[in-house]
């Protein structure tokens, strides 16, 4: 059992009171709040370490280079990658996916090849592949959902069988429906059919133990800010055997071996993919977030999210004017619930809840193809994390009843 009250104490922002009401932060899928442990580490970095990395022989530069490399090794260990050469620091999951599209994608995907996505993908895992498809004459194919909002694996199997699939790019779990995809099975199926697999781990890194070695995926992308780390730091894992066959993404300082007037050679990975001064304090802060998350335990975090989801789904399903989306069983999902209130626009729902200090998101959640598939322009989304509790869910459900009263 997690001591949620004690955990809450670690998050200064949760003590604030928007509109004079105690903050209930249910917008964790957009970004999570940061514990003092991470906030203080960022301040410590600037007070004691700050210098550019890999460039100068002085003491501070050595300290910050060491911190940067230590952070990379912490990420490597966190996702169980074999070598830190496979860990590339980026700005966020979006940049990580773009890196793969612009480098591996443009090099290896050709005319008539197929890129498989799911209908529930975030725009960050759609637009880069639309770019590759357009430039290379490749095709995009989408896997849809079954009647319980689970991914239709039969559809995936038939696409893999019938088409020349080069890449399957999918989310580990959905930022709208909370669905956890069976990524182990999908990696195996895809590899059996000669396709590489990119996993968008933006919503799974905060609450699931990721083991890229066991999983066997080719690429795994995520952002630090969704797991209590700072904004502006993301990660791309690239499987070791692909590293030499992927050209650089951006070019300039730090990523070179030698530069001549008319050509250049490149540093080995990961520096080859990290042009310019990196986000050292972000990497340092991410390492501290990993330490914090591991102290709580990822299994505990997922269990807690699922308990809150089950509790909230049970309450919400009893309200006849609330329409819920996603699997009915909380075990199939993370702590994300999307819903609509009959005859009330999602933005109005979110605005009224905000007056009660309850932060939820409304809109298309960067998933317009999924919204069209669900037949709605938008939803309201409540997303829970480790510092949320059942009393907050109660307040949220009461708030929804008030929303309805307002609009009657």
Pick one of 28, 33, 65, 94: the residue that binds ligand PLP (CB under 6 A): 94
* C-beta closer to ligand PLP: residue 113 or 281: 281
Q: How far apart are the first and last CA of the chain?
A: 41
Residue 398: alpha-carbon gap to chain centroid: 30
By CB under 6 A, name the one of 92, 118, 309, 338 that touches ligand PLP: 92
Cβ atoms of 191 and 216 closer than 8 Å: yes
Quick check: 185 and 172 in contact, CB under 8 A?
A: no
Q: Which of residues 313-352 bind ligand PLP (CB under 6 A)?
A: none
Q: Which of residues 175, 338, 340, 379 is near ligand PLP by CB under 6 A?
A: 175
Interacting residues with ligand PLP between 29 and 58 (CB under 6 A):
29
Q: Which residue's entry shows tokens 């970095």? A: 45
> What is the C-alpha to C-alpha distance for residues 327 and 313, in angstroms, rounded to an integer?
10
**Residue ranges in 13-32 that form contacts with ligand PLP under rule CB under 6 A:** 29
Give the shortest CB-234-to-ligand PLP separation in angstroms: 6
- Residue 252, preceding bond cis, omega within 30 degrees? no
Q: Which of 86, 98, 203, 334 binds ligand PLP (CB under 6 A)?
A: 203
DSSP state of 49: I
Residue 15 structure tokens: 């003590």
Is residue 207 involved in binding ligand PLP (CB under 6 A)? no
Q: How do beta strands 87-90 and 234-238 pair?
A: antiparallel
Catalytic (active site) residue 366: yes
User: Exactly one of 62, 319, 366, 397 is catalytic; which is it?
Assistant: 366
* Under 8 Å between Cβ of 218 and 86: no
The minimum distance between CB 150 and ligand PLP, in angstroms, equals 17
Binding mask 107-146 for ligand PLP (x = CB under 6 A): ---------------x-xx---------------------
Q: How far is the CB of 29 from ligand PLP (least distance, A)?
A: 6
Compare residues 233 and 246 and give the one whose CB is closer to ligand PLP: 233
Of 64, 86, 223, 269, the residue at the interface with ligand PLP (CB under 6 A) is 223
Task: Give me the sheet containing 165-171, strands edge to edge.
Answer: 87-90, 234-238, 219-223, 196-200, 165-171, 114-118, 139-143
| Burial environment of residue 231 by CB neighbours within 10 A (0 to 12, 13 to 18, 19 or more) | middle
Give the residues lining the site for ligand PLP (CB under 6 A): 29, 92-94, 122, 124-125, 171, 175, 200, 202-203, 223
Q: Which residues are catalytic?
A: 366
């Amino acid at each position: 059992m997690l001591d949620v009250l004690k955990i809450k104490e670690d998050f200064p922002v949760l003590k604030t009171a928007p509109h004079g009401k105690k903050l209930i932060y249910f917008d964790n899928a957009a970004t999570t709040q940061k514990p003092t442990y991470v906030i203080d580490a960022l301040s410590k970095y600037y007070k004691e370490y700050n210098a550019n990395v890999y460039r100068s022989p002085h003491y501070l530069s050595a300290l910050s280079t060491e911190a940067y490399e230590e952070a990379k090794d912490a990420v490597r260990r966190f996702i169980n990658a074999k070598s830190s050469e496979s860990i590339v620091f980026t700005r966020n999951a979006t940049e990580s996916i773009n890196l793969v599209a612009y480098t591996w994608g443009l090099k290896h995907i050709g005319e008539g090849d197929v890129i498989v996505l799911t209908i529930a993908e975030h725009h960050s895992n759609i637009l880069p592949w639309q770019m590759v498809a357009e430039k290379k004459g490749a095709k995009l194919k989408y896997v849809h959902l079954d009647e319980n909002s689970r991914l239709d694996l039969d559809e995936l199997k038939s696409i893999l069988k019938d088409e020349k699939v080069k890449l399957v790019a999918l989310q580990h779990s959905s930022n709208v429906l909370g669905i956890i995809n069976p990524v182990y099975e999908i990696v195996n199926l895809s590899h059996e059919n000669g396709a590489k697999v990119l996993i968008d781990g933006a919503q799974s890194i905060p609450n699931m133990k990721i083991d890229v070695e066991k999983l066997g995926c080719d690429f795994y992308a995520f952002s630090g800010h969704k797991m209590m780390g700072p904004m502006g730091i993301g990660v791309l894992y690239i499987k070791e055997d692909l590293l030499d066959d992927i050209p650089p993404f951006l070019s300039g300082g730090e990523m070179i071996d030698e530069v001549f007037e008319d050509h250049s050679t490149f540093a080995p990975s990961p520096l080859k993919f990290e042009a310019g001064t990196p986000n050292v304090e972000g990497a340092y802060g991410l390492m501290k977030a990993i330490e914090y998350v591991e102290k709580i335990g990822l299994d505990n975090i997922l269990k807690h999210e699922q308990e809150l989801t089950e509790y909230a789904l049970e309450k919400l399903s009893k309200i006849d004017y609330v329409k819920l989306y996603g699997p009915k069983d909380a075990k199939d999902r993370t702590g994300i619930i999307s819903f609509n209130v009959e005859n009330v626009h999602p933005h109005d729902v979110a605005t009224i809840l905000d007056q009660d200090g309850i932060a939820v998101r409304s809109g298309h959640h960067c998933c317009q193809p999924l919204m069209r598939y669900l037949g709605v322009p938008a939803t309201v989304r409540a997303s829970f994390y480790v510092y949320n509790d059942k009393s907050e869910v109660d307040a949220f459900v009461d708030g929804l009843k008030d929303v309805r009263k307002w609009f009657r």
